Amino acid sequence: MQPSAAAHHHPPAKDSRINFYGPILLFLAALLLFVSLSFSSSAPPAPPRSDPLPVSSSSPPPSLAYLLSGSEGDVSRLLRLLHAVYHPRNLYVLHLDLAAPQDQRVRLARSVQAVPAFHRHRNVHVVGRPGRADPRGSSALAAALHGAALLLRISDGWSWFLNLQASDYPLVPQDDLLHVFSFLPEDLNFVQHTSNLTWRETHRMKPIIVDPSLHLSLKEGVFYASQKRELPNAFRLFTGSASVILSRKFVEYCILGTDNLPRTLLMYHANTPSSHMNYFQTVLCNSPAFNKTIVNHHLHYEIWDTPLRRDPKALNLKDFENMTESGAAFATRIPKDDAVLNRIDREVLNRAPGQITPGGWCLGASDTDACSVWGNSDILRPGPRAMKLTKVIEDLLSDGNFQTYQCIWE
């Protein structure tokens, strides 16, 4: 997992609001102690399901809103990802973009309905009328905003919005993730960002494009204008990763709020290449109400071979040790059916093929499908992955990192 930090920076001015985050470190320290006592290195292997397991002291845990996105041929990948990140407390919207034929969308919806837990809790939804999502243009951003708007309309009970691609995969069980997030203020936004545009200034900020996916039913490539535009001076551009974890309050600000900044920046980014990698970063850092809530990391594990690469490299089995020891919550850019997925299922998620990652809500026999019988979804049984993730977040929120790497204007 590569931390995002500027090479040269000047710490921003002190803000009284930052004092609100001081107690977080005390909570995280307590959380580390809780998990380390429950899962010490001298402890024996995990007991059978019938034995008592440590139960989270947080009640009730937060709810997460997931947008899981894919394209043609991604039905099986989305279903596998859904099983891996499922929890009854969460909300899920599955978006198979318009490049996929309708029969694949029908297959996805029927497969979701066929899983008893999904059907019973009614928290998994498939977008029936999707748009295209070309990552080279602005239609991918439109798809992300559409998914977030649907999640807001379905329920206002969730705390964070997470957008995952079909090539992403969790590195922690949901019990661990929900347990750690139980100790965090719900206005935090985990977004990797920088104002150091480097090659992006020439290739992604100054070009003017038209994304036909926004207005044509047939697939067409992005059109580039012959001229380029100067960088704006009414606001500062920021860039980063398309993978974000956004607070519900910020999502409401972007979609439902009366402030005109999100709409102004949306119109600007409508003609910007790969705008889904810049929009949320730019809105956050130009908004006085939110620029102190941003954590400069997306909690994904990724590898960049060289600074000039446009995307992270694909991960595979040889990366397993590094990604699982990193403390990241998710891995990105894993090829379809790569062997590393089976190892993550087996050694990290304790998930059998075709089954849901087990958690405290699963009451079935461990030798069959533990989640075929369910109980109280407020009960979490965090494991050692919670301690690794806690250490990562504790470092990100420390005095030396949290404020220092927030929205640096270079």
69-79, pLDDT tens digit by residue?
Answer: 999 999 999 99
DSSP 113-132: HTSHHHHHHT-EEE-SS---
- In one letter, which amino acid is 336? K
Domains in the chain: boundaries: 16-38+47-396
Using CB atoms within 10 A of its CB, is residue 103 exposed (0-12), middle (13-18) or buried (19+)? Answer: exposed
Alpha carbons 401 and 406: distance in angstroms, whole number: 8
Distance CA 84, CA 66 (A): 12
Q: What is the pLDDT of residue 365?
A: 85
Torsion sign over Cα 107, 108, 114, 119: negative
- Residue type, position 3, single letter: P
Extract the residue ranges of the chain whose pLDDT is less than 70: 1-59, 305-310, 410
Q: Please report, as a single letter, which amino acid is at residue 221.
A: G
What pLDDT was estimated at residue 400?
A: 82
How much helix, strand and coil, in percent to the nearest 5, is found in the chain? 35, 15, 50
DSSP state for residue 235 in the 8-state scheme:
S
